[in-house]
């Protein structure tokens, strides 16, 4: 078989695999087969007893629609604007660390898929490629950058300046990572804080990794990338993900002063991520945020934090109509997107859903997940008698308990 036809066979096989994926849960199951256990569990898992992780999904299930019949809505509109930027649907991609371990397309694949879908990627600080590279290789369009608080103000200032220079339109400050959440599965797997691929660990891991040959061969061809392209340590070397988490753990908590500090340096909107109460939403706005993301970090930080969809209405009410409220954590279906918008969100972000797509098909897999979301939203809009996502409000849902 000649090389081009091998490529063709591979492309066809990938297309067939992606066609068989009909929802996020299918993608998760396929990703579970593809990824080494430790990596799968890193993406999949939540903190401690995963109460918040489970609650995120359940709270969406506890809302039901109030559909309207007898209306003809041939082509419902699901485009909207977020901070004045038009998006083809109210779904952005969430910033997630470790994506280049999941697939060599990594952060680039997620950003390119988001751009192809006509929406905004939120590119993570903990990316496996530099923010400049993403900016250079993702087709022109809106993109935001996500920032943690780093102990070293020079590092923070450098990232803000670089993101500015590279044309990122908004800066997303993550507030809920004072320390890393207690993810016991990662500790059991040896995933966090001490993992390094070196000769010794490679030998030790080999039997487990060998069970995932497709992932392993991609990972090896990609040069076994463990470092974080954006973050240099005190020695000027790029940091590995665990080392960055350790450093974040050594830092103080991000404060409202940090938000003001970023607002004064970044010439663009500041978005605060990780808000779960009305008071904090008001604080974020007072510190200069023009938008907030209601998030419990996908249930990965404080176990026992509320489901985001449950606290969304009080936050929307607290900040008023001039502040955009976005939501992540627990979005698995197009219906969840519609419920979030009915409760006052401007748009949602998907993290794990995109990661599972990436695991099984790289950029094409993320595109598939965004297509699935879009198709689900459209179908439900027709079934609901809803012509435009911008018309969603609290009258379209009720609590079913
Ligand atoms: C990092 O923020 C993570 O959730 O793993």
Distance CA 30, CA 213 (A): 14
**pLDDT more than 70, % of the chain:** 91
Of the candidate ranges 14-28, 254-268, 269-283, the one whose mean pLDDT is the lowest: 254-268
| Nearest Cα residue to atom 5 of ligand 1 | 97
Reported as a single tens digit per residue, the pLDDT across 74-119 is 899 999 999 999 999 999 999 999 999 999 999 999 999 999 999 9
CB-ligand 1 contact for 300 (6 Å cutoff) = yes
Neighbouring CB atoms inside 10 A of 133's CB total 16
Q: Of 67, 52, 56, whose CA–CA distance to 303 is shortest?
A: 52
- Would you state the structure tokens that stand for residue 400, as one six-digit string? 């079913």
Q: Of 225, 266, 188, whose CA–CA distance to 99 is shortest?
A: 225
Query: Closest ligand 1 atom to the C-alpha of 297?
Result: 4
Which residues are designated catalytic?
Answer: 297
Above 80 in pLDDT, residue 63?
yes
Beta strands in 33-134 (DSSP E): 63-65, 80-82, 85-87, 91-93, 122-123
Alpha carbon distance, N-terminus to C-terminus of the chain: 60
Ligand 1 mean position, distance from CA 96 (Å): 7
CB-ligand 1 contact for 334 (6 Å cutoff) = no
- Would you state the structure tokens that stand for residue 147, as one six-digit string? 């920032």
The answer to whether the pTM exceeds 0.75 is: yes
**pLDDT more than 90, % of the chain:** 78
Query: Closest ligand 1 atom to the C-alpha of 98?
Result: 5
Contact 44/178 with Cβ under 8 angstroms?
no
- The CA R_g of the chain, rounded to the nearest whole Å, is 20
The DSSP bridge partners found for residue 293 are 273, 326
Reported as a single tens digit per residue, the pLDDT across 181-192 is 999 999 898 875
Residue-level pLDDT at 1: 56
Reported as a single tens digit per residue, the pLDDT across 150-195 is 777 888 899 999 999 999 999 999 999 888 899 999 989 887 534 4
Contact 28/53 with Cβ under 8 angstroms?
no
Ligand 1 mean position, distance from CA 391 (Å): 34
Q: Per-residue DSSP letters for 241-253?
A: HHHHHHHHHHSPP
Ligand 1 mean position, distance from CA 300 (Å): 7
Ligand 1 mean position, distance from CA 65 (Å): 32
Cα–Cα distances in angstroms (integers) from residue 238 to residues 85, 228, 354, 386, in the given order? 33, 6, 26, 49
CB-ligand 1 contact for 97 (6 Å cutoff) = yes
């Amino acid at each position: 078989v000649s090389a081009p036809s091998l490529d063709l066979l591979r492309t066809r096989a990938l297309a067939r695999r992606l066609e068989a994926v009909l929802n996020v849960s299918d993608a998760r199951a396929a990703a579970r087969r593809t990824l080494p256990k430790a990596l799968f569990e890193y993406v999949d898992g939540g903190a401690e007893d995963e109460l918040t992780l489970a609650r995120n999904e359940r709270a969406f299930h506890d809302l039901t629609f109030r559909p309207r019949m007898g209306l003809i809505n041939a082509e419902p509109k699901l485009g909207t604007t977020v901070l004045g930027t038009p998006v083809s649907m109210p779904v952005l991609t969430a910033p997630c660390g470790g994506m280049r371990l999941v697939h060599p397309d990594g952060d680039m694949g997620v950003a390119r898929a988001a751009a192809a879908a006509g929406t905004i990627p939120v590119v993570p600080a903990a990316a496996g490629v530099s923010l400049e590279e993403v900016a250079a290789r993702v087709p022109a369009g809106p993109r935001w950058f996500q920032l943690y608080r780093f102990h070293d103000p020079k590092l923070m200032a450098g990232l803000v300046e670089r993101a500015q220079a590279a044309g990122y339109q908004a800066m997303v400050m993550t507030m809920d990572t004072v320390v890393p959440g207690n993810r016991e599965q990662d500790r059991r797997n040896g995933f966090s804080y001490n993992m390094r691929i070196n000769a010794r660990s490679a030998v030790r891991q080999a039997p487990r990794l060998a069970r995932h040959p497709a992932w392993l061969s991609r990972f090896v061809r990609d040069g076994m990338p463990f470092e974080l392209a954006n973050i240099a340590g005190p020695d000027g070397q790029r940091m590995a993900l665990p080392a960055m988490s350790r450093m974040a753990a050594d830092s103080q908590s991000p404060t409202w002063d940090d938000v003001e500090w970023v607002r004064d340096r970044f010439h663009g909107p500041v978005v605060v991520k990780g808000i779960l109460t009305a008071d904090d939403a008001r604080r974020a706005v007072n510190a200069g945020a023009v938008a907030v993301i209601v998030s419990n970090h996908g249930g990965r930080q404080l176990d026992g934090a509320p489901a985001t969809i449950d606290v969304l209405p009080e936050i929307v009410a607290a900040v008023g109509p001039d502040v955009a409220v976005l939501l992540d954590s627990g979005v698995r279906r197009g219906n969840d997107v519609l419920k979030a918008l009915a409760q006052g969100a401007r748009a949602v972000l998907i993290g794990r859903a995109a990661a599972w797509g990436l695991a099984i098909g790289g950029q094409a897999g993320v595109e598939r997940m965004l297509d699935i979301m879009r198709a689900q939203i459209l179908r439900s809009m027709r079934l609901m008698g809803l012509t435009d996502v911008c018309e969603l409000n609290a009258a379209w849902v009720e609590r079913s308990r």
